[in-house]
Chain A
């Protein structure tokens, strides 16, 4: 398929374009991690590329951060990376069934967003939700239990990979149907405006979902009533198996809001994401909705049943991994600013790996849901309706 190869090679160069800004890599005196972990002096670091704005003023390229924050970034993203890779092996071992959509490569979006907001702000996303659930306060055990369908999972094993929710942390899921979460996200923003909370709602969707009609309907509604909704397009350039240039006439997703301002962000740079989300929150509270396009990339295929290499080349994937990997970028920052040594970071990764393994082992031991759980939570405070199995003899349960 010569055409696709040519196109992908050109798009590959696009993907590789945002290289890190000049990082000082001269090794000098390095402080131990423990002191950097508590260090809260401000470092100002420039994002990899400037922001591109549509109908608004872009925020500055210089982002304030602290060593402590950078270390947290590294730890969180490394945990997410490790978790997704572990989920990959679990899926291949048939412990996770059905659909499993992995987020590795896109961790910077989850981590950067979480840093810029509070737990009172809401996030809603589609099915690629494991890492966002983690960043919103979920535990590894809950995640793996839910993925394996155990009752200790965040949705009691009844939701699965695509239905993670954490109400008390403002994480509204976890939705299987492409694009359907965006009107829900606008509804969250509506409720926030209704109760005058001073909080915002982030509705995440992908470049594939960006072509859904309900998105534009929701955008119209949000802009009409100045709802504090921020629509975040996680543009990983492939909607399932179709490249963005083959699905969208205009792949400039941040501009597609037309009258709604937009911002294009390097989604592999966690500091850029943080800056953009902070800017977006301020903007949304004052002026209404905003679109953020996060230019990011996923290493895995769309889901575990997709090898991910039939519509893109392995060179492209490894190219992005070498040049733009979010975890590596933070590692380089930490090393170059003498905030940690190589060994310390490696140790941290080993520790994370162990944590993940422990969580998986625990989740494997945990029990499957009880049979009566088939009928619980269908209705709230049930109706006293009796429920039967198909032969009307077994598994009778009175809905609580």
Chain B
């Protein structure tokens, strides 16, 4: 079902707090709503109390609506194409980064090859020429210390964006990320804020080998005090990048090596995606498929097959890996009563494992069948192409799983 735009499910109501002139760029209000010509609602969540109640109750407080509907496989036809501009995902990231750097002089970037080289995935291309070497800092290959340096700078009020050339390299900085980044706000009794963004490409690429194909979201998910988000489309890449930079909490933004060249049309106006919200990719009735990052595309591919076979899957891109958007997920579970999680993490201790636990604890009564979690195999990613393919979840497996689930 190709839906052009999407309101949220029946249970919510739209709440418009301020109307916002879409041309206004200095948005300082907490909650804003910008409206595009094609009734495309983009809402930025505020950092304040957001009712994230679980199935047991909902408070009638301020609501966040999210309504993002881009069909990832037919972006040209979906949204009304006149306004907006087309770009690739890495360009969207760069756009978001640039806008934030223009807006706030405290924002700076640091990482390997981000400056003169332009970034190994071209995300920071041209920024060093524009902002200078101090704001777009080429660091030596010393992840532990430059991550620590970024965190130290953040303690004084700067807002660094620390790039790991590959997420796997950030394992070297694990101590800094866990102890100093995540926990400092708590152990200092609230004195220090660490508004860093740690970003980088991760995930299984094209035969990059075991050490360069790591999924770090599973290692970082237990660290208290950090937020984790995973972007999957140019639209949410830019939105999440901006939200992450503006957030006062440390945010880890997971990008995927294979998604950098996705093309999509995004709005010209400024917009920000909420860091704690999931994205409804395709509403449906029969089964809830939860996914994120690259697996979203595998799921959508499987969805095409499933639709042909008569199933109606609801696909949600969870986007926020920590904390989970149990609100959206819960509403979906209440509707469909069947959950399939498709992720790229390893089976053991991955995001899917945590999500399974969270859904079972909160929505057990609504489930008609056990939750099925499709994850990557618990093996180091092999180099050989065929083996690598079978390490990650393939669309065919998703189709089979849905069929079994819906019996």
Contacts and interface: CB of A to CB of B under 8 A. Distances in A.
Interface of A: 122, 124, 153-160, 163, 165-167, 172-177, 180, 182-188, 190-195, 213-214, 217-218, 220-221, 224-225, 376-386, 392, 398, 400
Contacts of A157: 189
Contact of A154 (B137, B151, B155, B189): B189
B225 A159 contact: no
Contacts of B176: 180, 183-184
Contacts of B185: 377-380
Contacts of B149: 183-184, 186-187, 190, 218, 221
B395 interface: no
Contacts of A188: 152-153, 155-156
Interface of A is mostly: loop
Contacts of A195: 158
B321 to A, nearest CB: 13
Interface stretch (B49-57, B85-93, B198-206, B304-312): B49-57
B354 interface: no
Residue from A213, A221, A383 having most chain B Cβ neighbours under 10 A? A383
A400 B152 CA distance: 25
B108 interface: yes
Given A163-B188, A187-B154, A217 B144 contact: yes
B193 A380 contact: yes
Given A157-B189, A167-B191, A383-B227, 6 more contacts: A156-B189, A174-B188, A175-B179, A184-B180, A221-B142, A398-B49
25 contacts: A122-B156, A153-B189, A156-B189, A158-B186, A165-B187, A165-B192, A172-B155, A176-B179, A182-B148, A183-B147, A184-B149, A184-B155, A184-B180, A186-B148, A191-B155, A194-B134, A194-B153, A214-B145, A225-B134, A225-B137, A379-B225, A379-B249, A380-B248, A383-B323, A385-B323
B224 interface: yes
Contacts of A376: 190
Contact of A381 (B108, B148, B180, B248): B248
A230 to B, nearest CB: 14
Interface in B289-327: 323
Nearest to A171: B191
A214 B148 contact: yes
Contacts of B195: 380
A378 B148 contact: no
Contacts of A382: 49
Nearest to A156: B189
Contact of A180 (B47, B148, B276): B148
Nearest to B274: A383
Contacts of A218: 142, 145, 148-149
B282 to A, nearest CB: 26
B175 interface: yes
A82 to B, nearest CB: 25
Interface in B180-229: 180, 184-193, 195, 224-225, 227
Contacts of A173: 184, 188
Interface residues of B, number: 53
Nearest to B275: A383
Interface in B20-64: 47-54
* Most chain B CB within a 10 A radius of its CB, from A160, A177, A377: A377
A204 to B, nearest CB: 14
A385 B45 CA distance: 14
Contacts of A153: 189
A175 B193 contact: no
B52 A220 contact: no
A373 B291 CA distance: 34
Contacts of A386: 52-54
B363 interface: no
B111 to A, nearest CB: 13
B164 interface: no
Contacts of B137: 225
A217 B179 contact: no
B137 to A, nearest CB: 8
A180 B179 contact: yes
A384 B154 contact: no
B188 A186 contact: no
Contacts of A159: 187-189
Contacts of B53: 386
Contacts of A379: 185, 225, 227, 249
A190 B49 CA distance: 34
A65 B320 CA distance: 59
A186 B323 contact: no
B186 A377 contact: yes
Interface in B128-180: 134-135, 137, 139-140, 142, 144-158, 175-176, 179-180
B365 interface: no
A52 B251 CA distance: 45
Contacts of B47: 380-381, 383
Given A190-B152, A221-B142, A383 B187 contact: no
A122 B156 CA distance: 10
B98 to A, nearest CB: 18
A303 B179 CA distance: 21
A175 B180 contact: yes
Nearest to B61: A384
Given A194-B153, A379-B225, A180 B142 contact: no
A381 B246 CA distance: 13
A225 B139 CA distance: 10
A224 to B, nearest CB: 7
Contacts of B186: 158, 377-378
B50 A187 contact: no
Nearest to A227: B149
Nearest to B186: A377
Contacts of A166: 191
Given A180-B148, A180-B176, A218-B148, A384 B155 contact: no
Contacts of B184: 173
Contacts of B192: 165, 167, 172
A377 B175 contact: no
A215 B39 CA distance: 54
A218 B139 CA distance: 11
B52 A180 contact: no
A380 B249 contact: yes
Contact of B145 (A193, A221, A378, A380): A221
Contacts of A385: 52, 276, 323
Contacts of A191: 152-153, 155-158
Closest 8 CB pairs of A and B: A187-B152, A183-B148, A217-B145, A184-B152, A156-B189, A217-B142, A155-B189, A187-B149
Nearest to B146: A221
A185 B323 CA distance: 30
A156 B190 contact: yes
A187 B153 CA distance: 4
A187 B142 contact: no
B225 A378 contact: yes
A172 B151 CA distance: 11
A194 B216 CA distance: 31
A184 B154 CA distance: 9
A201 to B, nearest CB: 8
A221 B140 contact: yes
